Amino acid sequence: MRFKTIALQFGSGHIEVDVPGNSDVLSAGKVATLPDPTAAVRDCLREPPGTASLAELARGCDNAVVVVSDNTRPVPYSGPGGILAPIVETLKQSSVKDIKILVACGTHRPMAEPELRDMLGESAFRDGIEVINHVSTDNSMLRSIGSTDRTPEVTVNRHYLDAQLKIATGLVEPHFMAGFSGGRKAICPGICGRGVTYGLHSASILNEERSTNLVLDGNPCHAEALRIARMAGVDFIVNVTIDNKREVTGVFAGELEQAHLAAVEHLRSYATIPVTRPYDVVIIPAGDVGVNHYQCVKAVFEAARVAKPSGKVILLGNLTDPDPVGNPNYKDMLRLAIRLGPEGFLERILEPDWTFVPDQWEVQMWSKAYRRLAGPKEIYICAPQLEDCGEDLLPETNVAAQNKRLTGESNVNFARRILQQTIDRLTQQRAEKETLVLPDGPYAVPQLQIEHNR
pLDDT of residue 72: 82
Query: pLDDT class for 451, splitting at 50, 70, 90?
Result: very low
- Residue type present at position 442: P
Decide whether 3-28+272-448 matches 37-268 in CATH topology: no
Query: pLDDT class for 429, splitting at 50, 70, 90?
Result: low
Task: List all residues 6 or more positions away from 6 whose beta carbon is below 8 Å from its beta carbon.
Answer: 16, 17, 18, 19, 23, 25, 283, 437, 439
Q: In whole angstroms, what is the distance from residue 384 CA to residue 89 CA? A: 42
Q: In whole angstroms, what is the distance from residue 440 CA to residue 44 CA? A: 28
Residue 38 is classified by DSSP as: H
Task: List all residues 6 or more positions away from 360 whose beta carbon is below 8 Å from its beta carbon.
Answer: 201, 203, 329, 333, 349
Query: pLDDT class for 454, splitting at 50, 70, 90?
Result: very low
Helix (H) or strand (E) holding 337: helix 328-349
pLDDT of residue 452: 40
- Considering only CA atoms, which of 192, 188, 108 is closest in space to residue 143? 192
- Considering only CA atoms, which of 306, 298, 300 is closest in space to residue 275? 306
Query: pLDDT class for 13, splitting at 50, 70, 90?
Result: very high
Task: List all residues 6 or more positions away from 283 whose beta carbon is below 8 Å from its beta carbon.
Answer: 6, 8, 19, 303, 313, 314, 316, 423, 435, 436, 437, 438
- The mean of the pLDDT values for the chain is 93
CA 351 to chain centre: 28
Residue-by-residue DSSP string for 195-261: HHHHHHT-HHHHHSTTSSTT--TT-HHHHHHHHHHHHH--SEEEEEEE-TTS-EEEEEEESHHHHHH
Predicted TM-score (pTM) of the model is: 0.84
Q: What is the rounded average pLDDT of the residues 217-246?
A: 94
Task: List all residues 6 or more positions away from 369 whose beta carbon is below 8 Å from its beta carbon.
Answer: 297, 300, 301, 304, 313, 379
- Considering only CA atoms, which of 37, 40, 41, 79 is closest in space to residue 238? 41
| In the predicted structure, residue 67 carries a pLDDT above the cut 70 | yes
pLDDT of residue 1: 66
Cis status of the peptide bond prior to 189, with omega within 30 of 0: yes
| In the predicted structure, residue 150 carries a pLDDT above the cut 70 | yes
pLDDT of residue 50: 82
**What is the residue extent of each domain of the chain?**
3-28+272-448, 37-268
Q: What is the rounded average pLDDT of the residues 161-172?
A: 97
Superfamily of 3-28+272-448 according to CATH? LarA, C-terminal domain (3.90.226.30)
Which CATH code of 1.10.357.10, 3.30.450.40, 3.40.50.11440, 2.40.128.20 fits the domain covering 37-268?
A: 3.40.50.11440
Q: What would the pLDDT profile of 291-343 be if each residue is shown by its tens digit?
A: 999 999 999 999 999 999 999 999 999 999 999 999 999 999 999 999 999 99
Q: In whole angstroms, what is the distance from residue 363 CA to residue 282 CA? A: 21
Inter-residue contact 239 to 253 (CB < 8 Å): yes
Inter-residue contact 232 to 65 (CB < 8 Å): no
